[in-house]
Amino acid sequence: MINAIDKPAIFITHDYVIQAVNDAYRETYDIEVIVGTSTCHAISHRSDAPCDKHGEDCPLSQCQKTQRPSSVVHIHNTNDGKSYCDILMKPVRDEDGMTIGFLEILDRISYAAADSQRNKMIGSSDAFKQMLNRINRAAQSEIAVLLQGETGAGKELVAQAVHESSRRKEKPFVVIECTGLNESLFESELFGYEKGAFTGATNSKKGLIEVANGGTVFFDEIGDVPLNMQVKLLRLLETQCYRPVGGLKQKKADFRLVCASHKNLLNMVEKGEFRQDLYFRIAGFPIYLPALRERKEDIPLLCRHFLVTGEHRHKHFSEQALQTLQNYAFPGNIRELKSIVEQSALMSNDDDIMVSDLPPQILGMRSSESEAIPDEVMPLEQAEQAYLEKICKHFEGSPDELANKLDVSTRTLYRKLQRYNIKLKSS
């Protein structure tokens, strides 16, 4: 029976021992599964103790508590390295209703990773795992998905993940950028036009809805669609039909809908800026993308990832630099972090990226938080000079000690002292 399940699956008893296993499960891990002996945690986590002993949610104990199926996203040690798996655990009962064991079915999440892997979504925080769980659920159905999150939080990447893990993955993924589209552009882009439909239409052109046929259409910044176009969009979604500009015949649309917005669409509905009927049509399954400051634990991992996949694989952020980054608010989210990593790596003179190599917006925030620096805004270089002058008057230790405290190399400290013509008290 277990081999009839096309995903990796095991049947386990209350003591976590695997009593039945299918081929797909065996092929997922390097470790051999011995039926009646191996435990699920030893195979998937290479650990002697169940997951809840390591601070992770254990789906089996959840199931025992609630007597209902439970699901959780875990990082497993698979033969592809650390991989994300969406685990579904179902209690199995005998004819008297007693739970005799649990069926565990795995869904491998191929679009995300907990270590640096090219072209994957990277993260390991709880907020990130919760998001993966929802993406995975959405991908298995045809429901309209609405992605809500700040700019640069990864909405387009998530939209792609929904597409790649859906049954439409072999078909096109088409992005429609809604910002800045006026009415006529919106219609001709979406629905296409016939030859002679307007001046300049010397040939007919397929619309993006037709290009996407059978695939997924991603409407980015859906909140920017003007009200009069929202009616046309709603009609398309309700009827799955449209007419090219200047055309007479209706065409049938076949696409899966994913929309994204950084604006709060419900607030817009309340203010009359977004149609309520359209909102309910597009928000079949809302997914919230956490801002980077809500998943600070992922910052070191993402920094490593951008260094390794960029041009600076041998460089490292110092502990203090990582700490400083984790204290920053990141209004531009992951896009901003990516650019900060590149800038800082270029600024560092050796393999260690120090606090002083971080761009001004990060250090600016630090200084505004510090009471030691005056409130008025001044050029950073001037602030740096003032600060160095002040501490060098009193600092008793060696240049090495000061450089260490400032989280810069001694060479960088000397360079700065020379530039500002400052003398250390001890030298």
Ligand X SMILES: Nc1ncnc2c1ncn2[C@@H]1O[C@H](COP(=O)(O)OP(=O)(O)OP(=O)(O)O)[C@@H](O)[C@H]1O
Among 8, 101, 154, 223, binds ligand X (CB under 6 A): 154
Per CB under 6 A, which region of 91-99, 130-138, 167-175, 332-340 contacts ligand X? 332-340
**N-to-C CA span, the chain:** 79
Interaction of residue 152 with ligand X, rule CB under 6 A? yes
Site string for ligand X, 257-296 (x = CB under 6 A): -----x----------------------------------
Is the CB of 334 or the CB of 345 nearer to ligand X?
334
Among 41, 45, 74, 155, binds ligand X (CB under 6 A): 155
Residue 394: enclosing H or E segment and its boundaries?
A: helix 380-394
For residue 20, how many other CB atoms are within 10 A of its CB? 17
* CB-nearest residue to ligand X: 154
- In the complex, the smallest distance separating the C-beta of residue 262 from ligand X, rounded to whole angstroms, is 5
Is the CB of 137 or the CB of 335 nearer to ligand X?
335
Interaction of residue 157 with ligand X, rule CB under 6 A? yes
Question: How big, in percent rounded to 5, are the helix, strand and coil portions of the chain?
Answer: 40, 20, 35
CB 367 within 8 A of CB 378: no
Among 8, 123, 207, 244, binds ligand X (CB under 6 A): 123
CB 83 within 8 A of CB 109: yes
Among 224, 335, 365, 384, binds ligand X (CB under 6 A): 335
Interaction of residue 334 with ligand X, rule CB under 6 A? yes
Per CB under 6 A, which region of 57-65, 189-197, 274-282, 334-342 contacts ligand X? 334-342
Question: Binding to ligand X (CB under 6 A): which residues in 211-230?
Answer: 220
Is the CB of 140 or the CB of 151 nearer to ligand X?
151
Interaction of residue 163 with ligand X, rule CB under 6 A? no
Among 57, 156, 273, 294, binds ligand X (CB under 6 A): 156
**What is d(CA 22, CA 11) in angstroms, rounded to the nearest whole number?**
9
Is the CB of 122 or the CB of 402 nearer to ligand X?
122
Interaction of residue 121 with ligand X, rule CB under 6 A? yes
Interaction of residue 338 with ligand X, rule CB under 6 A? yes
Residue 9: enclosing H or E segment and its boundaries?
A: strand 9-12
Grouping H, G, I as helix, E, B as strand and the rest as coil, residue 190 is helix
Is the CB of 159 or the CB of 408 nearer to ligand X?
159
What is 110-166 written as a DSSP string?
EEEESS--TTSEE--SHHHHHHHHHHHHHHTS---EEEE--TTSSHHHHHHHHHHTS
- In the complex, the smallest distance separating the C-beta of residue 116 from ligand X, rounded to whole angstroms, is 9
**What is d(CA 245, CA 194) in angstroms, rounded to the nearest whole number?**
6
Interaction of residue 153 with ligand X, rule CB under 6 A? yes
Interaction of residue 151 with ligand X, rule CB under 6 A? yes
Strand partners, 193: 205, 245
Q: Which residues contact 38 (CB under 8 A, 6 or more apart)?
A: 17, 18, 31, 32
Helix-then-strand count for the chain, H and E: 17, 17
Q: Name the residues that contact ligand X, by CB under 6 A.
A: 121-123, 149, 151-157, 220, 262, 334-335, 338
